[in-house]
Structure 1
Amino acid sequence: MRRFEGRVALVTGAARGIGRAIAVRLAEEGAAVALADRDEDGVVAAAAAIGAGAMPLACDVVDRASVDAAVSAVIARHGRLDVLVNNVGVSSGTAFEEIDDAAWREQAGPTLHGAVRCVQAALPHLLASPVGGAVVTIGSINGLAAFGDLVYSAAKAGLQSLNQNLAVLYSRRELAARGSSSRGIRFNLVAPGTIRTPAWTDGGPERMARLDRLDRLYPAGRVGEPEDIAAAVAFLASDDASWITGIVLPVDGGALTGPLSFD
């Protein structure tokens, strides 16, 4: 499939894991992809591995100037932006009693406010997209049910509300009512379950042992792979989902269908 031929996509948190898999999938389907991450060496390596003109960008979503510069660089090279994927999420598992202002800023800031900054910077270009803009945000099943990790979960839940409100605010109907000829922007959110990313595989023997246990607990018989999320993102960002906006799509191996222990 070449669903993104001629289109330009920006993926944040793209140096590794889910973000990198999303960038690979969009590039395979024809998109000119810009990969943004605060890990400059990692994002350069990821872009080089993709090839095909993939564009690495050093970008920290907690810094508005950095986000603005990244979007400006994409426009300077390609002249347009059609797809934005918000993939940054920070989790430290801070115990509730130990959550102070710094812990809240360090986790909720990049996860929730980082997405806001990215959407705001990309907004005029997404509105100008001749095919209609698409924003896909990576949430979590932690935002849908109580799986612990309170700050991270609260931020992911906030992303769902943000997604729904923006889907209405920048819908074609609402823009037309304001006299705009834009085709509008579709906003959707993917909520992954446990995904086999470097956060798990580089976490030492204890983390790997826990991941092995989760393999057996998921109704689908395994934890997810980054490519599972990339496939969902590619669908929601494509014209195949042209009548889908404002949704939360769990990609969770059945975790939300029944009791699942993450202890």
Structure 2
Amino acid sequence: MSRIILITGANRGIGRGLAAQFAADGETVLLSARNGDAAAQAAAEIGGDVHPIQLDATDQASIDVAVKQIEATHGRLDVLVNNVGGVFDYAQQASNADLGVVQEALNINLFSTWRVTQALLPLLRKAQGARIVNVSSEAASLERMGAGTPAYSASKAALNALTRSLAAELAGDGIIVHSASPGWTATDLGGEGGRPIAEGTASIKHVVNLPVGAGTGGFYQDQQILPW
């Protein structure tokens, strides 16, 4: 039986690439995007068992509608990939950062994931061996963190903290939670110079497919554990 996998922000970039890879594997993919038409177009272009879902991760009402749709159609959720993210504040330093940009980064990179995860936990609890993978960044590693992109780095580090907290809480429910970094990837968000999308998506897919014996609460990139 194929898994039911929801990927947020999957109409383009890494999310879309990941959706295509899982569809090629015969999985049931719920491809979500803020714009329903964009989700439908991406799902049609990918083909296979891919279903568009309109889901704005910043809007609780939109999330609630999507959850009801998934419950009515599928009754459970095996994998949640929280892929929505953004805000690269390349020109900022922590000492003089625009805190409005920092707040925006936290809203997109932390609170959107938190909001979606809370809403979908009842459906994840209905699955056997469900898992949550939060798409993070190597820029979130406190050990490696430098002076650049303070809003992005801090918000992704906060996302990693959420991963750890959820992993500890949900272990008793049999739900595995990890963070996964795709590395610098050439997408609309990542810009030119990054590696091919297929390599970034493979880094995340590896984490989705980790065996139960790998535990929970990890932070991975390219099959390697990253330092928190």
Q: TM-score, normalised by structure 1?
A: 0.76
The residue that corresponds to 1:250 in the other structure is: 221
Amino acid at match of 1:139: S
**1:141 maps onto 2:138 in alignment:** yes
Given the alignment, which residue of 168, 192, 196 partners 2:186?
196
Paired residues, what number? 219
Structure 2 contact 181–203 (Cα < 8 Å) conserved: no
Distance in 1 (CA, whole Å) between partners of 2:92 and 2:137 is: 19
Q: CA deviation at 1:39?
A: 3.3
Distance in 1 (CA, whole Å) between partners of 2:102 and 2:60 is: 18
Distance in 2 (CA, whole Å) between partners of 1:246 and 1:48 is: 34
Range moving further from structure 2, 37-46 or 55-64:
37-46
Structure 1 segments of 4 or more deviating over 4 A?
A: none
The residue that corresponds to 2:158 in the other structure is: 158
The residue that corresponds to 1:128 in the other structure is: 126
Distance in 2 (CA, whole Å) between partners of 1:150 and 1:11 is: 26
Structure 1 contact 33–55 (Cα < 8 Å) conserved: yes
Given the alignment, which residue of 42, 47, 65 partners 1:46?
42
**1:69 maps onto 2:35 in alignment:** no
Amino acid at match of 2:122: P
Distance in 1 (CA, whole Å) between partners of 2:75 and 2:35 is: 25
Structure 2 residues without counterparts, runs of 5 or longer: none
Structure 2 contact 140–157 (Cα < 8 Å) conserved: yes
The residue that corresponds to 2:211 in the other structure is: 241
Distance in 2 (CA, whole Å) between partners of 1:114 and 1:46 is: 22
Q: CA deviation at 1:98?
A: 4.2
Distance in 1 (CA, whole Å) between partners of 2:223 and 2:206 is: 16
Given the alignment, which residue of 183, 188, 200 partners 1:229?
200
SS at match of 1:224: coil
Given the alignment, which residue of 112, 115, 133 partners 2:110?
112
The residue that corresponds to 1:186 in the other structure is: 176
Q: CA deviation at 1:200?
A: 4.7
Q: CA deviation at 1:228?
A: 1.9
Report Cα offsets for 1:99-138 as digits up to 9, x if no partner: 13x3233221011011101110111111110x21111111
- Percent identity, aligned pairs only? 33
Q: CA deviation at 1:62?
A: 1.1
SS at match of 2:221: strand
Structure 1 residues without counterparts, runs of 5 or longer: 176-181, 202-207, 212-222, 258-263
Structure 1 contact 137–189 (Cα < 8 Å) conserved: yes
SS at match of 2:41: helix
Distance in 2 (CA, whole Å) between partners of 1:252 and 1:124 is: 29
Q: CA deviation at 1:230?
A: 2.3
Change (3 A) 1:137 1:51: same
SS at match of 1:33: strand
Amino acid at match of 1:247: G
Structure 1 contact 71–121 (Cα < 8 Å) conserved: yes
Distance in 1 (CA, whole Å) between partners of 2:220 and 2:190 is: 23
Given the alignment, which residue of 73, 79, 91 partners 2:75?
79
Structure 2 contact 178–217 (Cα < 8 Å) conserved: yes
CA RMSD of aligned residues (A): 2.2
Q: CA deviation at 1:50?
A: 1.8
Distance in 1 (CA, whole Å) between partners of 2:220 and 2:167 is: 14
Q: CA deviation at 1:232?
A: 2.9
